[in-house]
Every structure is written in structure tokens, then in C-alpha cells.
Amino acid sequence: MRIYFLGVLPLLTASMVFGQAAVSTSTNPQASATPQISPTPSIEGPAPRIPAIDELDQAFKQTSLGKTADEARLHAQWRELSNRIINDSDLVAARNMADKMKTDLAKRQQLRVYYAMFYDRMRAQAASPELKNYIDARKTQHLGLTAQNRVRPSPSPAATAKPKSKAAAPKLKATVPEPPLPQ
């Protein structure tokens, strides 16, 4: 075992010395050869037109990043407009009035008035047609939430009026068509 160790030790030492010498010569900048630079090819024809910064800005503004990114951008613009006008005194009064209504029907009617005022004001301040369409869609969505499509509406007053003579008047059955579901 001792002889084996004595034979391996000089080999390890020699390999470390040669390895260190190889690394030191490759990292020495003076010893490295100068790089060969190839000549640049000549460009034939006129130089390409480089667009101005304003043209580039317009091109990037018009480019869509995808449906999700466009929805996020429109939602951020909608939220900015909403935050700007939500505290207007007449809108706050309309919202408080809706909260004070005694019946569900009266509250839904008042909320329709509130949403109409709110979204009409936002639409007036919107800058782009995309944002106006987004605001219209949100308005339709909120107004659709105030409808009660699964509850039968009250019968009309003409259908509930009692006839004067019981024998002459047939019974009328009022059928009221259900409003369409919001889309």
C-alpha cells in the first residue's frame, strides 16, 4: 500500500503543475493571439427607411397583445374613469336613495336609474370607441343584474279588475311574456 501511494503522489503532483501551467497561459492576455476580423460586406442599394419615434409609438399602440391583455387594459381604463366620477354628489345621492328603498322592486328601479346615470357619464368621458363599447357592455351587464327573470311579474290592473256581473263575464287568464335573459 505504501508503494502504491508513493507511485501515485508524483503523478498527481505532475498533473497539477501541468494543469496550472495550461490555465495560466490561456488567461494571459499578452500571450493570446490577436483575433482575426473579417471585412464588412458592402451594402448595395439605398439604406432602409427608419421610422420616426411618433410612428413607432402609434404602431405599438395599435398592435393588440391578445384578448386577455386588451380586456385588462380596457378594465384598467374603465376603473380609472369609475374612480374619477364615483363620488359625484348626484351619483352618491342616487345610490343612497336606492339603499333606502323599502321594497325590492323600488330598489331595483332606483338602481337602474343609478346605473344609467353612472354609465352615461362614464361614456361621455371615454376617449376611445373601444372603451365606449366596453362601458356599454358593462352597463348592459349591470342593468341585467337588476332584472328578476325568474319571478313572475305582477299582473296588469286590467286583468285583476272584477267584472260587474258574475254570469256574463268569463274568467280571463293573464299571460305575461317573460323578459329575455341578459346576455
C-alpha cell at 132: 365606449
pTM of the model: 0.48
**Mean pLDDT over the full length of the chain:** 75
C-alpha cell at 182: 341578459
Higher pLDDT, 153 or 145: 145
> Given this model, what pLDDT does residue 46 score?
76
Question: Would you kindly state where each structural domain of the chain is located, as residue ranges?
Answer: 88-150
Is pLDDT of 133 > 60? yes
If you ran DSSP here, which 8-state letter would residue 172 be given? Answer: P
Write out pLDDT tens, residues 26-55.
555 555 566 677 666 666 777 778 888 888
User: Distance between CA atoms of 143 and 115, rounded to whole angstroms?
Assistant: 7
Q: Are 107 and 98 in contact (CB under 8 A)?
A: yes
> Given this model, what pLDDT does residue 121 score?
93
C-alpha cell at 2: 505504501
What is the residue type of 71?
E
Q: Are 82 and 135 in contact (CB under 8 A)?
A: no
Q: Are 38 and 92 in contact (CB under 8 A)?
A: no
Neighbours of 98 (CB within 10 A): 19
Write out pLDDT tens, residues 70-87.
888 889 999 999 999 999
> Given this model, what pLDDT does residue 31 score?
53
> Given this model, what pLDDT does residue 11 score?
63
H helix or E strand, kind and range, residue 20: helix 2-26
